[in-house]
Structure 1
Amino acid sequence: MCQLLGMNCNGPTDICFSFEGFCARGGKTDDHKDGWGIAFFEGAACRVFLDDKPSATSAIAKLIREYPIKSTNVVAHIRKATIGPVGLENCHPFTRELWGRHWVFAHNGDLPTLKSGSLGTYRSVGQTDSERAFCLIMNQLRDKFPQQQPPMEELFPVLQEMTQAIASHGIFNYLLSDGKHLFVHCSTKLCYIVRQSPFAAAHLIDEDLTVDFQELATPCDRVAIIATTCLTDNETWTTIQPGELLVFQDGLPLIFQDDWACKVSRY
């Protein structure tokens, strides 16, 4: 199946180091070679790069690895095609507008029994079950909250209910972002790490590359990296439990209390 990579942080940061190891899995150290994509949120804008070539050999991926685009939220995906042929229209992440914001989505897994449902504002361009699931979420959110984006304590339980319903059709690991938050759902396999002061060196699993973040970051920086499997071999990653939906903001997962008031984890 496919693999996911996400980043959420408290200030604009580049993802070059993590993307270097992630790209290698697209045809070099693994067989996810049926296309790839990455989306960077920059203010109100969203910069998206897609390619149906393997990320390990893609000239566009090489540009991204060497060009330090700074963003507070990043969603990336490398594809191993199952439902839908290899083609640019089937490359993740997918983007749509809702409540005057860009929303970006990438999925790992298969949803063989998921139907498109009634036609709404959002419709699929490609043939994947992933884009179908994304459009279903967007249509239901628009129907539930037609005027504006609700506060997180209202949005989260609705998204959680939608997620559980879609996950009943198969495997539904996903990343979803509105540019401020990064929603992360684990169906089978996802993990994350929060890098913050005191920073240390990290070594990639898929490439012989080490970066000492103490030399690059400030004491105030905080970055959460989410991936299908660990990207480094000298750091401790947190496993996300199957069925768990997390929301990252400013580089930390939010904690939801019984009254749905949310606060940032002190991690």
Structure 2
Amino acid sequence: MCELLAMSANTPTDLCFSFTGLARRGGEAGPHADGWGVAFYEGRGVRVFHDPGASASSRIAELVQTHPIKSEAAISHIRQANVGRISLENTHPFIRELWGRYWTFAHNGQLHGFAPRRGVYRPVGETDSEAVFCDLLNGIREAFDADTPDAQLIDAVVAACRNYARYGVINLLLSNGEWVFTFCTTRMCAITRRAPFGPARLRDADVTVDFEAETTPDDIVSVIATDPLTSDEQWDAYQPGEWRLWRKGEVVARGRETVPAHRHPAVGGSAVS
């Protein structure tokens, strides 16, 4: 099973603490050793790191853990591949340009029998995940334009996710830098940190941080992950079919769709994610 990580904040914030916990699961505290990636938005730009190796032993991942890259929106993914090549082009998050913005996407799940529509966006690698991303953007590009209100776009994204869920597990993260959209069919959870801040300890690494010393009283930082990253905080679990739209650390829209029960034993597992 792959694992996801996202952040939404109202002020530029680094992901060092959470990414350190996730990275340990990539070949040390967990089996997700088949590649990892992370994307940080900085204004209209996006800083992306990919590595087809294990994050727990990656020197690039070490840089991300120790260099405080500040962002208001970030998404990350560690991969466990069962079918398909372990390669750079199959490593999430995937990125494409639409309407003068970079869109990024990461997916945990396995789809069966899904065939993407033809369009401007085509997969570079072999994963069903990238195929879904290209299909989603092709649908948005065909139906809307750059002036379309976000609410209308999100309605279309939710409808697309409901359709993808017919083919299997579709836990995903999607961002254009302005917001982070999350959709869950099996496992996802979130935590929002705001004043008064306190300490937190990672579950998979001997690391504790005192957020009070690192923040201001006005900061709001939300972290979304497949499984809780800390051992001493209360994480909020998503329900199957639940989606949330995050902006500047807050949930600004949410809903729940009816999705088929997952029938595969490796819950959330992906053959080619």
* TM-score, L = length of structure 1: 0.94
- Quote the Cα distance in structure 2 between the aligned partners of 1:42 and 1:83: 34
CA displacement, residues 236-267 of structure 1 (integer Å, 9 cap, x when unaligned): 1000111111100010111369xxxxxxxxxx
CA contact (8 A) 2:4 2:78 kept: yes
- Quote the Cα distance in structure 1 between the aligned partners of 2:253 and 2:93: 26
- In percent, how many aligned pairs have the same letter? 47
Number of the residue aligned with 2:116: 116
Q: Return the letter of the residue paired with 1:246.
A: R
Number of the residue aligned with 1:142: 141
- Quote the Cα distance in structure 2 between the aligned partners of 1:75 and 1:204: 19
CA displacement, residues 99-158 of structure 1 (integer Å, 9 cap, x when unaligned): 1100000000101211123x200000000000000000000000110x314212211211
- Quote the Cα distance in structure 1 between the aligned partners of 2:182 and 2:83: 22
| Structure 1 segments unaligned to the other structure (5+ residues) | 258-267
Cα pair distance change 1:184/1:149, threshold 3 Å: farther
CA contact (8 A) 2:165 2:185 kept: yes
Number of the residue aligned with 2:267: none
**Alpha-carbon offset, residue 83 of structure 1:** 4.2
Moved more, 80-89 or 217-226: 80-89
Number of the residue aligned with 2:75: 75
Please point out which of 207, 221, 224 is paired with 2:222: 224
SS of 2:138 mapped into structure 1? helix
- Quote the Cα distance in structure 1 between the aligned partners of 2:122 and 2:106: 16
CA contact (8 A) 1:83 1:128 kept: no
- Quote the Cα distance in structure 2 between the aligned partners of 1:123 and 1:88: 16
- Establish whether residue 85 from structure 1 lines up as the match of residue 56 from structure 2: no
SS of 1:17 mapped into structure 2? helix
- Quote the Cα distance in structure 1 between the aligned partners of 2:154 and 2:229: 28
CA displacement, residues 54-96 of structure 1 (integer Å, 9 cap, x when unaligned): 0000010001111100000000000001342100000000000
SS of 1:10 mapped into structure 2? strand
Could you list the structure 1 runs, at least 4 aligned residues long, displaced by more than 6 angstroms after superposition.
none
* TM-score, L = length of structure 2: 0.92
- Quote the Cα distance in structure 2 between the aligned partners of 1:51 and 1:251: 28
- Quote the Cα distance in structure 2 between the aligned partners of 1:236 and 1:106: 24
Give matches, 1:123-202, under 5 Å.
123-145=122-144, 147-202=145-200
Q: Return the letter of the residue paired with 1:255.
A: A
CA displacement, residues 138-183 of structure 1 (integer Å, 9 cap, x when unaligned): 00000110x3142122112111111100111000000000001000
Give matches, 1:205-220, under 5 Å.
205-220=203-218
| Number of residue equivalences | 255
- Quote the Cα distance in structure 1 between the aligned partners of 2:236 and 2:126: 33
Number of the residue aligned with 1:48: 48
Number of the residue aligned with 2:35: 35
CA contact (8 A) 2:42 2:70 kept: yes
| Structure 2 segments unaligned to the other structure (5+ residues) | 256-273
Higher relative contact order structure (alpha carbons within 8 Å, sequence separation ≥ 6)? 2
Q: Return the letter of the residue paired with 1:171.
A: V
Q: Return the letter of the residue paired with 2:211.
A: F
Q: Return the letter of the residue paired with 1:43.
A: G
- Quote the Cα distance in structure 2 between the aligned partners of 1:39 and 1:62: 15
Moved more, 225-234 or 82-91: 82-91
- Quote the Cα distance in structure 1 between the aligned partners of 2:179 and 2:151: 13
- Quote the Cα distance in structure 2 between the aligned partners of 1:34 and 1:49: 15
SS of 1:168 mapped into structure 2? helix
Q: CA RMSD in A?
A: 1.1
**Alpha-carbon offset, residue 53 of structure 1:** 0.6
Q: Return the letter of the residue paired with 1:128.
A: T
